[in-house]
Amino acid sequence: MHFLMGTPLPRKLLILEFYTLTRVLLFIMLLSSSLASSCPKGCHCSERNGLTVVQCAARNLDSIPQDLPRDTVALLLSSNLIRNIPNQAFKNLPRLQELDLSRNRIETVDAAAFQGVSDTLRTLDLSNNLIQSVPKEAFARLHAKIRLSDNPWHCECTLQEVLRELQLDPETVNEVSCHTSSLEGHAGKPVIQVLDSGINFCNFHHKTTDVAMFVTMFGWFTMVIAYVIYYVRHNQEDARRHLEYLKSLPSTSQISKDFDTISTVL
Protein backbone atom coordinates (compact mmCIF):
# COMPACT_ATOMS: atom_id res chain seq x y z
CA MET A 1 0.00 0.00 0.00
CA HIS A 2 2.75 2.44 0.96
CA PHE A 3 4.71 1.37 -2.07
CA LEU A 4 1.78 2.08 -4.31
CA MET A 5 1.15 5.42 -2.69
CA GLY A 6 4.81 6.37 -2.65
CA THR A 7 5.73 5.61 -6.21
CA PRO A 8 4.02 8.71 -7.76
CA LEU A 9 5.96 11.11 -5.47
CA PRO A 10 9.17 11.28 -7.50
CA ARG A 11 7.15 11.90 -10.63
CA LYS A 12 5.40 14.84 -9.00
CA LEU A 13 8.71 16.33 -7.96
CA LEU A 14 10.11 15.80 -11.43
CA ILE A 15 7.06 17.39 -13.03
CA LEU A 16 7.22 20.30 -10.57
CA GLU A 17 10.91 20.87 -11.26
CA PHE A 18 10.35 20.65 -14.99
CA TYR A 19 7.48 23.13 -14.75
CA THR A 20 9.59 25.55 -12.66
CA LEU A 21 12.54 25.25 -15.05
CA THR A 22 10.26 25.86 -18.00
CA ARG A 23 8.89 29.02 -16.41
CA VAL A 24 12.41 30.30 -15.65
CA LEU A 25 13.55 29.65 -19.21
CA LEU A 26 10.43 31.32 -20.57
CA PHE A 27 11.02 34.35 -18.33
CA ILE A 28 14.64 34.60 -19.51
CA MET A 29 13.53 34.33 -23.13
CA LEU A 30 10.90 37.04 -22.63
CA LEU A 31 13.41 39.26 -20.84
CA SER A 32 15.99 38.76 -23.58
CA SER A 33 13.39 39.40 -26.24
CA SER A 34 12.23 42.57 -24.49
CA LEU A 35 15.80 43.77 -24.05
CA ALA A 36 16.66 43.04 -27.64
CA SER A 37 13.57 44.79 -28.95
CA SER A 38 14.40 48.01 -27.04
CA CYS A 39 18.09 47.99 -27.94
CA PRO A 40 19.10 50.48 -30.66
CA LYS A 41 19.73 48.97 -34.07
CA GLY A 42 23.34 47.95 -34.50
CA CYS A 43 24.10 48.13 -30.78
CA HIS A 44 24.44 45.43 -28.16
CA CYS A 45 22.58 45.60 -24.84
CA SER A 46 23.40 43.72 -21.67
CA GLU A 47 22.29 43.77 -18.05
CA ARG A 48 24.10 45.23 -15.04
CA ASN A 49 22.44 45.09 -11.63
CA GLY A 50 19.01 45.04 -13.21
CA LEU A 51 19.76 47.98 -15.51
CA THR A 52 20.82 48.18 -19.16
CA VAL A 53 24.29 48.70 -20.57
CA VAL A 54 24.19 49.87 -24.20
CA GLN A 55 27.34 49.08 -26.19
CA CYS A 56 27.51 51.08 -29.43
CA ALA A 57 31.27 51.47 -29.82
CA ALA A 58 32.77 51.45 -33.33
CA ARG A 59 29.44 51.25 -35.16
CA ASN A 60 30.01 54.17 -37.60
CA LEU A 61 27.29 56.20 -35.89
CA ASP A 62 27.16 59.87 -36.91
CA SER A 63 24.66 60.86 -34.20
CA ILE A 64 23.54 59.76 -30.76
CA PRO A 65 20.86 57.02 -30.95
CA GLN A 66 17.35 58.16 -30.07
CA ASP A 67 15.71 54.82 -29.17
CA LEU A 68 17.71 54.12 -26.01
CA PRO A 69 16.16 52.14 -23.12
CA ARG A 70 15.05 54.39 -20.28
CA ASP A 71 16.88 52.22 -17.75
CA THR A 72 20.24 52.70 -19.48
CA VAL A 73 22.95 52.95 -16.84
CA ALA A 74 25.94 52.99 -19.20
CA LEU A 75 26.09 54.28 -22.78
CA LEU A 76 29.27 53.46 -24.67
CA LEU A 77 29.62 55.41 -27.92
CA SER A 78 33.38 55.56 -28.41
CA SER A 79 35.09 55.32 -31.81
CA ASN A 80 32.20 56.59 -33.91
CA LEU A 81 31.67 59.56 -36.25
CA ILE A 82 29.59 61.82 -33.97
CA ARG A 83 30.23 65.55 -34.56
CA ASN A 84 27.80 67.27 -32.21
CA ILE A 85 26.14 66.73 -28.83
CA PRO A 86 22.77 68.48 -29.15
CA ASN A 87 20.67 70.00 -26.39
CA GLN A 88 19.01 67.47 -24.05
CA ALA A 89 20.56 64.55 -25.93
CA PHE A 90 20.16 62.27 -22.87
CA LYS A 91 17.03 63.70 -21.24
CA ASN A 92 15.18 60.35 -21.44
CA LEU A 93 17.89 58.47 -19.52
CA PRO A 94 17.18 59.27 -15.85
CA ARG A 95 19.52 56.51 -14.59
CA LEU A 96 22.53 57.19 -16.79
CA GLN A 97 25.78 57.01 -14.83
CA GLU A 98 28.49 56.27 -17.40
CA LEU A 99 28.82 58.03 -20.76
CA ASP A 100 31.72 57.35 -23.12
CA LEU A 101 31.97 59.62 -26.18
CA SER A 102 35.72 59.33 -26.67
CA ARG A 103 37.39 58.95 -30.07
CA ASN A 104 34.66 60.60 -32.09
CA ARG A 105 34.75 63.75 -34.24
CA ILE A 106 32.87 65.98 -31.82
CA GLU A 107 33.39 69.67 -32.55
CA THR A 108 30.48 71.30 -30.71
CA VAL A 109 28.76 70.69 -27.39
CA ASP A 110 25.47 72.58 -27.04
CA ALA A 111 24.77 74.56 -23.87
CA ALA A 112 22.08 72.15 -22.60
CA ALA A 113 23.67 68.94 -23.91
CA PHE A 114 23.70 67.16 -20.53
CA GLN A 115 20.52 68.64 -19.14
CA GLY A 116 18.57 65.91 -17.35
CA VAL A 117 21.54 63.73 -16.36
CA SER A 118 23.60 66.23 -14.35
CA ASP A 119 22.58 64.61 -11.05
CA THR A 120 23.05 60.95 -12.04
CA LEU A 121 26.10 61.02 -14.33
CA ARG A 122 29.28 59.79 -12.63
CA THR A 123 31.80 59.49 -15.49
CA LEU A 124 31.95 61.40 -18.79
CA ASP A 125 34.65 60.75 -21.39
CA LEU A 126 35.07 63.35 -24.17
CA SER A 127 38.73 62.65 -24.85
CA ASN A 128 40.22 62.36 -28.35
CA ASN A 129 37.74 64.60 -30.14
CA LEU A 130 37.91 67.91 -32.03
CA ILE A 131 36.53 70.23 -29.34
CA GLN A 132 38.09 73.71 -29.22
CA SER A 133 35.67 75.39 -26.81
CA VAL A 134 32.42 74.77 -24.95
CA PRO A 135 29.73 77.08 -23.54
CA LYS A 136 30.03 77.79 -19.84
CA GLU A 137 26.55 76.28 -19.33
CA ALA A 138 27.41 72.93 -20.96
CA PHE A 139 28.86 71.34 -17.80
CA ALA A 140 26.79 73.29 -15.28
CA ARG A 141 25.88 71.30 -12.15
CA LEU A 142 27.65 68.17 -13.41
CA HIS A 143 29.13 66.05 -10.62
CA ALA A 144 30.78 63.55 -12.97
CA LYS A 145 34.48 62.88 -13.29
CA ILE A 146 35.29 64.21 -16.76
CA ARG A 147 37.97 63.41 -19.32
CA LEU A 148 38.78 66.22 -21.76
CA SER A 149 42.25 65.18 -22.89
CA ASP A 150 43.54 65.18 -26.47
CA ASN A 151 41.27 67.90 -27.84
CA PRO A 152 42.51 70.99 -29.75
CA TRP A 153 41.50 73.40 -26.99
CA HIS A 154 41.67 77.15 -27.52
CA CYS A 155 42.82 78.59 -24.20
CA GLU A 156 40.87 81.72 -23.34
CA CYS A 157 38.58 83.12 -20.65
CA THR A 158 35.59 80.83 -21.28
CA LEU A 159 37.68 77.66 -21.05
CA GLN A 160 39.27 78.92 -17.83
CA GLU A 161 35.82 79.50 -16.30
CA VAL A 162 34.61 76.08 -17.47
CA LEU A 163 37.58 74.21 -16.01
CA ARG A 164 37.18 76.04 -12.71
CA GLU A 165 33.83 74.30 -12.15
CA LEU A 166 34.75 70.79 -13.35
CA GLN A 167 36.02 67.68 -11.64
CA LEU A 168 38.65 66.58 -14.14
CA ASP A 169 39.94 63.03 -14.13
CA PRO A 170 43.29 63.28 -12.29
CA GLU A 171 44.86 60.64 -14.55
CA THR A 172 44.37 62.75 -17.69
CA VAL A 173 44.33 66.31 -16.34
CA ASN A 174 47.84 67.03 -17.67
CA GLU A 175 46.74 65.92 -21.15
CA VAL A 176 44.30 68.84 -21.46
CA SER A 177 46.56 71.16 -23.44
CA CYS A 178 46.34 74.50 -25.20
CA HIS A 179 46.34 73.87 -28.94
CA THR A 180 45.94 77.61 -29.50
CA SER A 181 45.81 80.48 -27.03
CA SER A 182 44.55 84.04 -26.77
CA LEU A 183 47.93 84.82 -25.16
CA GLU A 184 51.20 84.17 -26.91
CA GLY A 185 53.62 81.54 -25.68
CA HIS A 186 51.17 79.01 -24.21
CA ALA A 187 50.34 76.78 -27.17
CA GLY A 188 51.26 73.17 -26.49
CA LYS A 189 51.30 73.56 -22.72
CA PRO A 190 48.90 71.81 -20.31
CA VAL A 191 46.06 74.16 -19.36
CA ILE A 192 46.46 73.43 -15.65
CA GLN A 193 50.17 74.27 -15.82
CA VAL A 194 49.39 77.59 -17.54
CA LEU A 195 46.74 78.52 -14.98
CA ASP A 196 48.92 77.45 -12.05
CA SER A 197 51.64 79.79 -13.31
CA GLY A 198 49.36 82.73 -12.57
CA ILE A 199 48.11 83.42 -16.07
CA ASN A 200 44.57 84.77 -16.08
CA PHE A 201 42.95 84.70 -19.50
CA CYS A 202 39.91 86.57 -18.18
CA ASN A 203 41.98 89.61 -17.16
CA PHE A 204 43.39 89.76 -20.67
CA HIS A 205 39.88 89.35 -22.02
CA HIS A 206 38.61 92.27 -19.95
CA LYS A 207 41.55 94.44 -20.99
CA THR A 208 40.94 93.57 -24.64
CA THR A 209 37.26 94.43 -24.23
CA ASP A 210 38.14 97.76 -22.59
CA VAL A 211 40.55 98.63 -25.40
CA ALA A 212 37.96 97.69 -28.01
CA MET A 213 35.37 99.85 -26.27
CA PHE A 214 37.81 102.77 -26.05
CA VAL A 215 38.65 102.45 -29.75
CA THR A 216 34.94 102.34 -30.61
CA MET A 217 34.17 105.40 -28.50
CA PHE A 218 37.15 107.25 -29.97
CA GLY A 219 35.91 106.42 -33.45
CA TRP A 220 32.45 107.76 -32.68
CA PHE A 221 33.92 110.89 -31.09
CA THR A 222 36.11 111.48 -34.16
CA MET A 223 33.07 111.12 -36.41
CA VAL A 224 31.11 113.66 -34.34
CA ILE A 225 33.96 116.17 -34.38
CA ALA A 226 34.40 115.72 -38.13
CA TYR A 227 30.67 116.29 -38.66
CA VAL A 228 30.71 119.46 -36.53
CA ILE A 229 33.70 120.83 -38.45
CA TYR A 230 32.02 120.01 -41.75
CA TYR A 231 28.79 121.60 -40.57
CA VAL A 232 30.54 124.81 -39.43
CA ARG A 233 32.58 125.10 -42.61
CA HIS A 234 29.54 124.44 -44.75
CA ASN A 235 27.57 127.13 -42.91
CA GLN A 236 30.49 129.53 -43.19
CA GLU A 237 30.55 129.00 -46.94
CA ASP A 238 26.80 129.59 -47.14
CA ALA A 239 27.15 132.72 -45.00
CA ARG A 240 29.97 134.05 -47.22
CA ARG A 241 27.92 133.48 -50.35
CA HIS A 242 24.91 135.15 -48.78
CA LEU A 243 27.03 138.15 -47.77
CA GLU A 244 28.46 138.49 -51.27
CA TYR A 245 24.94 138.34 -52.64
CA LEU A 246 23.85 141.15 -50.33
CA LYS A 247 26.84 143.23 -51.29
CA SER A 248 25.97 142.77 -54.95
CA LEU A 249 22.53 144.29 -54.40
CA PRO A 250 22.07 148.09 -55.07
CA SER A 251 22.49 150.20 -51.95
CA THR A 252 19.56 152.28 -50.53
CA SER A 253 21.26 155.63 -51.32
CA GLN A 254 21.74 154.66 -54.94
CA ILE A 255 18.08 153.70 -55.20
CA SER A 256 17.08 157.08 -53.68
CA LYS A 257 19.25 158.99 -56.17
CA ASP A 258 17.79 157.10 -59.09
CA PHE A 259 14.29 157.82 -57.79
CA ASP A 260 15.00 161.59 -57.46
CA THR A 261 16.40 161.72 -61.00
CA ILE A 262 13.29 160.12 -62.37
CA SER A 263 11.09 162.60 -60.44
CA THR A 264 12.98 165.60 -61.79
CA VAL A 265 12.67 164.40 -65.34
CA LEU A 266 8.95 163.92 -64.90
The pLDDT of residue 37: 47
Report the chain's mean pLDDT, rounded to a whole number: 80
Tell me the per-residue pLDDT of 44-53, one tens digit each, with 9 for 90 and over. Answer: 999 999 999 9
Tell me the per-residue pLDDT of 207-264, one tens digit each, with 9 for 90 and over. Answer: 444 445 555 665 666 777 766 677 666 677 766 776 666 667 665 555 555 545 545 5
The pLDDT of residue 169: 93
Given a cut of 80, is residue 33 above it in pLDDT? no
**DSSP calls for the chain:** -HHHHHTHHHHHHHHHHHHHHHHHHHHHHHHHHHHHHHSPTT-EEEEETTEEEEE-TTS--SS--S---TTEEEEE--SS---EE-TTTTTT-TT--EEE--SS---EE-TTTTTT-TTT--EEE--SS------TTTTTT--SEEE--SS-EEESHHHHHHHHH-EE-TTTGGG-BEEEESSTT-TTSBHHHHHHTT--HHHHHHHHHHHHHHHHHHHHHHHHHHHHHHHHHHHHHHHHHHHHHHHHSPPHHHHHHHHHHHHHH-
Percent of the chain with pLDDT over 70: 66
The pLDDT of residue 30: 44
> Among 14-28, 122-136, 161-175, which stretch is predicted with the lowest mean pLDDT?
14-28
- Structure pTM? 0.65
The pLDDT of residue 36: 41
Per-domain residue ranges of the chain: 37-199, 214-265
Average pLDDT estimate for 149-171: 93
Tell me the per-residue pLDDT of 73-108, one tens digit each, with 9 for 90 and over. Answer: 999 999 999 999 999 999 999 999 999 999 999 999
CATH fold label, 37-199: 3.80.10
